[in-house]
């Protein structure tokens, strides 16, 4: 691969920061306001959390590839990722509002859940994909703690209504897996994909 940079098709500042940590130069390739990016995240009936997160990541990458071509941008690898939180087979996406965030956090309280981040990279006609699965155990959290956390605004826009790199870290008793994967971009798997695509890391 001769490219010196990649496109990151994600609005997440954490994913950009994690790429910086790997030393990977990147440019954002974001959807225009007329693109209905949220429609890609609709869950199909009976869909498992694993199938869901991988399908959404593929759809996001398809959209990003088309976006680069439409904008006639220089060719370079395009990276997409999607993170979902699952309690059993129940998918906990981004909360619709504070009440929805309260519902999700109450469900996670005192339980172990999975955080799955799927990543996909495309360069030319080739596509590579990997899935990271981590387990996170929340301590029991009371309604006052949940309300105070929601007041910070942090749960909104986050899968499962929390961010491990934020104040919710105080709720987490144990993790098994990838801290960066829980943040939204598993660095080990991302580095592996980039090496497969020809990057030297």
pLDDT of residue 180: 96
Smallest Cα–Cα separation from 85: which of 111, 46, 63, 59? 111
Q: Block means of pLDDT (10 residues each) for the chain, length 201 residues?
A: 83 94 94 76 92 96 95 95 96 95 98 98 95 98 97 94 95 97 96 89 79
Does 1 reside within a domain? no
For the chain, the domain total comes to 1
- Is 34 among the catalytic positions? no
Residue 108 backbone zone (phi > 0: left; psi -120 to 50: alpha; other: beta): alpha
pLDDT, tens only, 128-153: 999 999 999 999 999 999 999 999 99
> 98: closest CA among 106, 110, 109, 89?
106
**Angle, helices 98-108/143-151, rounded to nearest 10 degrees:** 140
Residue 201 lies in a domain: no
Give the pLDDT score at 197: 86
In a domain, residue 155? The reply is yes
Domain at 101, CATH number = 3.90.950.10
pLDDT of residue 2: 57
- Which one of the listed residues 82, 97, 100, 142 is annotated catalytic? 82
* DSSP assignments along the chain, one per residue: ---S-EEE----HHHHHHHHHHT--EEE-PPPTTS-GGGGGPPPTT--HHHHHHHHHHHHHHHHHHHHHHTTPPP--EEEEEEEEEETTEEE-S-SSHHHHHHHHHHHTTSEEEEEEEEEEEETTEEEEEEEEEEEEEPP--HHHHHHHHHTTTTTTSGGG--TTTGGGGGEEEEES-HHHHHT--HHHHHHHHHHTT---
Distance, in Å, from the CA atom of 85 to the CA atom of 119, rounded to the nearest integer, reads: 15
Identify the domain containing residue 136 by its residue range.
Answer: 6-196
Residues in the chain: 201
Residue 50 falls inside a structural domain = yes
């Amino acid at each position: 691969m001769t490219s010196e940079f990649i496109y990151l098709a994600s609005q997440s500042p954490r994913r950009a920061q994690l790429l910086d940590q790997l030393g990977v130069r990147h440019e954002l390739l974001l959807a225009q306001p007329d693109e209905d990016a949220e429609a890609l995240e609709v869950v199909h009936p009976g869909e498992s959390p694993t199938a869901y997160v991988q399908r959404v990541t593929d759809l996001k990458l398809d959209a990003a590839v088309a976006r680069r071509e439409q904008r006639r941008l220089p060719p370079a690898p395009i990276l997409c990722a999607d993170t979902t939180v699952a309690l059993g087979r129940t998918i906990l996406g981004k909360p619709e509002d504070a009440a929805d965030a309260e519902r999700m956090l109450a469900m996670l309280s005192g339980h172990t859940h999975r955080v799955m981040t799927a990543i996909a990279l495309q360069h030319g006609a080739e596509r590579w994909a990997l899935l990271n699965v981590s387990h996170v155990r929340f301590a029991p959290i009371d309604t006052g703690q949940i309300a105070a956390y929601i007041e910070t605004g942090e749960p909104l826009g986050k899968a499962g209504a929390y961010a491990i790199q934020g104040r919710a870290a105080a709720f987490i008793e144990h993790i098994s897996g990838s801290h960066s994967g829980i943040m939204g971009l598993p660095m080990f798997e991302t580095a592996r994909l980039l090496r497969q695509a020809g990057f030297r890391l």
